[in-house]
């Protein structure tokens, strides 16, 4: 049944990402909080979409719904012809592992593993290829991001900018078509932030679709499209 839902009947006209009437409420201590108030959004393959918004605008909620890390209160989220809003948490995790690389503001590398092991984590989880080939691919990804010399170090031994590059390498571990980044430059100085944004630009040139949420207007300059999220609603774009 799930397989049938996942079939893409019109691949030429369907956008890669389609959100329709997406609403998200949270139960807060002070009552219900409305994080998103009915979002409609289409993203085509190969776009570098930046979603600009202030703190509290609903950016992270949007990322969590897009990646299946959270579920909609109402509406539909389609990514790569999959109805993400209908997936169980377990199904969402398997689907995400193959479809989306997620990059976080705080890097979220495991401090007890080497950088190489951190990059290999999603491969293990998606059971992606034989161990020797996984290792080879992880080393190649680290080399691509100029971190080959650091492969066996723990995250604490490298800078924040380097840690974010490792996190991007990890996001690319299973070669997903989509990379979603939540404030990826929020913990970095502006020079380092620029180099990280360049990596996303390069990924788009290689055919990936990138959705990046940020409050930083400098980052938005590199995008192929910019939309603004304000009080849970899209304005402009």
Partner 1 sequence: MRTIIHKRQGTPLQAGPDGQGPLVGLQRVVKTYQTAAGPFTALKGVDLSVNAGEFVAIVGKSGSGKSTLINMITGIDRPTAGAVIVNGTPLQTLTEEQIAVWRGQAIGVIFQFFQLLPTLTAVENILLAMDYGHRFPPSDRPARALHLLEQVGLADCAHRLPAQLSGGQQQCVAIARALANDPPLLTADEPTGNLDSKTAATILTLFEALVAQGKTILMVTHDDELARRAGRCVVIADGAIVQDQHHGA
Binding site for partner 1 (CB under 8 A): 64, 67, 69-70, 89-90, 93, 96-97, 102, 104, 106, 108, 110-114, 116-117, 121, 124-125, 152-154, 156-157
Nearer to partner 1, 158 or 194 (CB): 158
- Among the listed residues 179, 155, 152, 157, the one whose alpha carbon sits nearest the alpha carbon of residue 168: 179
Hey, how many other C-beta atoms are within 10 angstroms of the C-beta on 212?
27
Give the shortest CB-218-to-partner 1 separation in angstroms: 25
Nearer to partner 1, 26 or 42 (CB): 26
Give the shortest CB-129-to-partner 1 separation in angstroms: 15
Give the shortest CB-96-to-partner 1 separation in angstroms: 6
Report CA torsion sign: 216, 57, 61, 85. negative
Nearer to partner 1, 8 or 108 (CB): 108
Nearer to partner 1, 108 or 189 (CB): 108
Q: What does the angle CA 109 – CA 111 – CA 112 come to, to the nearest 5 degrees?
A: 125
How many Å apart are CA 17 and CA 31, to the nearest integer? 31
Nearer to partner 1, 110 or 140 (CB): 110
Beta bridge partners of 17: 43, 79
Collapsed DSSP state (helix, strand, coil) of residue 1: coil
Give the shortest CB-158-to-partner 1 separation in angstroms: 12
Structure tokens of 123? Answer: 């491969």
- Cα–Cα distances (Å) from 144 to 9, 25, 49, 141, 166, in that order, read 36, 41, 23, 5, 10
Q: What is the largest CA-CA distance in the chain?
A: 52
- Cα–Cα distances (Å) from 73 to 16, 85, 140, 231, in that order, read 22, 9, 41, 16
Give the shortest CB-36-to-partner 1 separation in angstroms: 15
Nearer to partner 1, 75 or 125 (CB): 125
Nearer to partner 1, 106 or 140 (CB): 106
Give the shortest CB-154-to-partner 1 separation in angstroms: 5
Give the shortest CB-205-to-partner 1 separation in angstroms: 26
């Amino acid at each position: 049944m799930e397989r049938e839902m996942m079939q893409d009947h019109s691949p030429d006209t369907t956008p890669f990402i389609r959100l329709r009437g997406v609403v998200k409420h949270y139960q807060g201590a002070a009552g219900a909080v409305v994080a998103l108030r009915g979002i409609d959004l289409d993203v085509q393959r190969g776009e570098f979409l930046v979603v600009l918004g202030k703190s509290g605008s609903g950016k992270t909620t949007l990322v969590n719904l897009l990646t299946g890390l959270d579920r909609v209160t109402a509406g539909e989220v389609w990514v790569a012809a999959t109805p993400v809003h209908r997936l169980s948490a377990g199904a969402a995790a398997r689907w995400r592992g193959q479809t989306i690389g997620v990059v976080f503001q705080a890097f979220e590398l495991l401090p007890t593993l080497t950088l190489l092991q951190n990059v290999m984590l999603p491969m293990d989880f998606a059971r992606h290829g034989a161990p020797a080939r996984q290792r080879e691919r992880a080393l190649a990804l680290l080399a691509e991001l100029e971190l080959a010399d650091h492969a066996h170090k723990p995250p604490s031994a490298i800078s924040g900018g380097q840690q974010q590059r490792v996190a991007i390498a990890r996001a690319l571990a299973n070669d997903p078509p989509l990379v979603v980044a939540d404030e990826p430059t929020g913990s970095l100085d502006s020079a380092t932030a620029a180099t990280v944004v360049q990596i996303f630009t390069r990924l788009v040139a290689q055919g990936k679709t990138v959705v990046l949420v940020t409050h930083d207007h400098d980052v938005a300059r590199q995008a192929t499209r910019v939309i603004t999220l304000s009080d849970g609603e899209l304005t402009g774009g």
